[in-house]
Structure 1
Amino acid sequence: MRVFLALARHGSLSAAARALSINHATVARRVQSFERSLGERLVERRLDGYVLTPAGARLLGPANDMETAAANLSRQGKEHQPAGLVRVNAPPSLSQHFLASRLAELCRNYPGIDIDLATDFRTVSLERHEADIALRFGRPQDGDVLAKRLRPIAFGFYATAEYRRRIEAGADPAFVGFDESNAHLPEALWLSKHFGRKRLSFRTNGQSTQAAAAKAGAGIALLPHFIGQLDDELVICDLEPEPPARELWLVMRRPSRQSLHIKTVTDHIAFVFANESSFFEKKR
C-alpha cells in the first residue's frame, strides 16, 4: 500500500523509489504484486509517467486513510507529538521567498513531522490526495474541503531607478512578463488586458526570474510586493491602472482536520501569514 501511494503521488518509478529509499525495480514488483492480489490494474504507464486507473483512483482515498491511521498508531503514548508526512502545494514564488523557510522551522520544532513542499502553477487535486494542504489564489471551488482565507497579496510595478526616470521623462514603457506557456495565469492576463499594446521585452516562466530581468534593465515587471521589495535595486513605478490584489486561501480535505500532524502544519501556516503581514505590504 505504501509503495502504491508513492507511485500514485510521484507519477514515476524513479521518483517513488527515491521517496521510499528503495530501487525502482522494487517499486515495480511490489505494485504488480499488489495488483495481482486485488485482481485489478491500479496504474497505467504512459509516455509522461504513471497514471491511476479507475480502480486505482477508488483505492487512493482508503489507502491514504490507512497511511494516516498507521502514523497515528505509531504515536501511541506520544499524543502531543505530531508525526507523519504532510504534503503542501503552493505557488512557486511564495514557496521560494516565504513559505519554505517557515515550514523548515516547523520541522525543527516538531522532529516527527516531515514536509513535502511542491511548487506548481497547476492546481493539484486534494480529492485525489495529490496534496494534504494547498495554498491557492482565489476562493477554492473544490467539493468537500475546508478553506481559510489567509490574506490579500498585493502587487506593484517594479523597475530600476534609471528605468523609472526614463518613463517619467516620457519614454514608452516595455514590460517583463510570462512566457507563452504561462500566458493563462491571472497576472499575465491582467497585464495583457491593460497594457497589451506595449512591448513585452522579456518573457520567462516565473516571477523571481522576472524580477532579475527587471533588475538588469529589461523593463517593468508586475510583481507581488514581497518579491519586488527584496532587492534594493528595484523601485516602484506608478502606472495606471494599479494592479489588484489577489486573495490567498489555505485549503485542506475535511477529514484531514482529524490528523494531528496535518492540523499542526495548517495552524503554523495560518500563524505565520497572520503575524508577518509586513512582509507582504508595500513599503516604498
Structure 2
Amino acid sequence: MADQIRTSFDWEDIRIFVSLARYGSLSATARALSLSHATISRRIQTLEKALGEKLVERRPDGYVLTTAGVRALSPASEMEVAAARLGRGGQPQEPSGLVRVNAPPSLAQCFLVEKLAGLTAAYPTLDVDLATDFRAVSLERREADVALRFGRPTDGEVIAKRAATPGFGFYAVDEWRRRLAAGESPTFVGFDDANAHLPEASWLRETYPRARVAFKSNSQVMQAAAARAGAGIALLPHFVGRGEATLVHCEMKEAPPSRELWLLIRRDGVTNLAIKTVVDFLMNLLSSERALIE
C-alpha cells in the first residue's frame, strides 16, 4: 500500500483515526462519536488510502495500530489538540476524552478506584478506564496511556517517573498476633502457584521455606479477606493492610522489602491535556498519601 499515490486527506478522517486508536474498538468509537460502524470503517480506509499506508489491524479483541499507525498517531493527536484549541478561540481547554490507566490489581482496587472516579466527577468531559494487570502492558502498542508499575522500567520510548516506594507488612487478625507472641509458627496466606514468580511470593517462600501456606489466591484483595477470616498471616502492601479495620500489623523476625512504584507515559502523552491531568493527579495523590503507602 505504501507505493500507492498519496492524496489529500480529510480532517474528519484523522479525528476518527485518533478516536479508534484511543478506544480500540469500532463499538466504543461509534458510541463516542455518534457514528455508525460502517462510517468509521470507511473513513479509516479513506485515510489509509490517502496516506498510502495501513494504519490499523483488526484482531479478535479489537483494533491495534500498525507501525505506520503508531508513527501517524502523534501528529494526528497534535492536530486534534490544535483543532480543539482553535474551536475555543485559543483559550485553555478542559481535559476531555478517554485516558486508559493500568495499575497493579491491589493498587487499583484498594487505593485508586475511588480517587480516579472522583477525578472524572470533577471533569465531566474526562473519562478514565482503569484496568489491572500483573504483566507489563505496552504503552508503545497503545495498551494503556498511563501505567503504574512496580520495579524500575526497562521500556525504551517512554517517560518514567518514580511515584512512590510502597512498603509491605504482615497482617492478620489479632488472634494470630497473640499466637505468634506465644511462640507459634506462622501460617500464611499467599499467592497461588501461577503467581509464584512475583517478588512478594518469592521473598516469602525463600524467607519461610517450611511454613504452611493455608490459603492461596491470585489477588491481594482476596488474601486480605482470607486473613480477616483467620486463615493465616498475609503479606500485604501497607495501603491494603492499613485499610482493613479488622487486621493488625504483625511484627515478624524478617521485614519484607519495599518496592519502587513507577509511573509511565508515552512521550506524546506530555502534550495531551487529558493524559497530563491524570498524570499530575496521580503524582500528587501518591505524594500526599505517603504515610499510608510507605
TM-score (norm 1): 0.81
Matching residue within 238, 243, 260 for 1:225: 238
Match of 1:171 in 2: 184
Q: Are 2:142 and 1:137 equivalent residues in the alignment?
A: no
> How far 1:257 moved relative to its partner?
1.9
> Unpaired segments of 5 or more residues in structure 1?
none
Match of 2:101 in 1: 88
- CA gap 1:49/1:74 in 2 versus in 1, 3 angstroms: same
Q: Are 2:204 and 1:191 equivalent residues in the alignment?
A: yes
Stretch deviating more after TM superposition (128-137 or 237-246): 128-137
> Unpaired segments of 5 or more residues in structure 2?
1-13
Stretch deviating more after TM superposition (226-235 or 38-47): 38-47
Matching residue within 143, 150, 154 for 2:163: 150
Post-superposition Cα deviations, 1:137-164, rounded to whole Å, max 9, x if no partner, equal 2222222333222221010011111122
* Cα separation, 2, equivalents of 1:112 and 1:44: 28
Post-superposition Cα deviations, 1:63-111, rounded to whole Å, max 9, x if no partner, equal 5555545544454454153333322222221122222222223223333
3-state SS of 2:111 partner: helix
Matching residue within 244, 247, 250 for 1:237: 250
> How far 1:49 moved relative to its partner?
5.9
Match of 2:134 in 1: 121
* Cα separation, 2, equivalents of 1:55 and 1:29: 18
Aligned 8 A contact 1:60 1:129 in 2 = no
* Cα separation, 2, equivalents of 1:71 and 1:80: 8
3-state SS of 1:130 partner: coil
* Cα separation, 1, equivalents of 2:51 and 2:223: 50
Match of 2:291 in 1: 278
CA RMSD between the two structures: 3.1
Aligned 8 A contact 1:61 1:128 in 2 = no
TM-score (norm 2): 0.79
> How far 1:228 moved relative to its partner?
0.8
* Cα separation, 2, equivalents of 1:100 and 1:169: 39
Post-superposition Cα deviations, 1:222-267, rounded to whole Å, max 9, x if no partner, equal 1011111222221112223200111112222233222233222222
Q: Percent identity?
A: 59
3-state SS of 1:118 partner: strand
Size of the aligned set, in residue pairs, is: 281
Letter in 1 for 2:186: P
Matching residue within 104, 125, 133 for 1:112: 125
* Cα separation, 1, equivalents of 2:37 and 2:229: 44
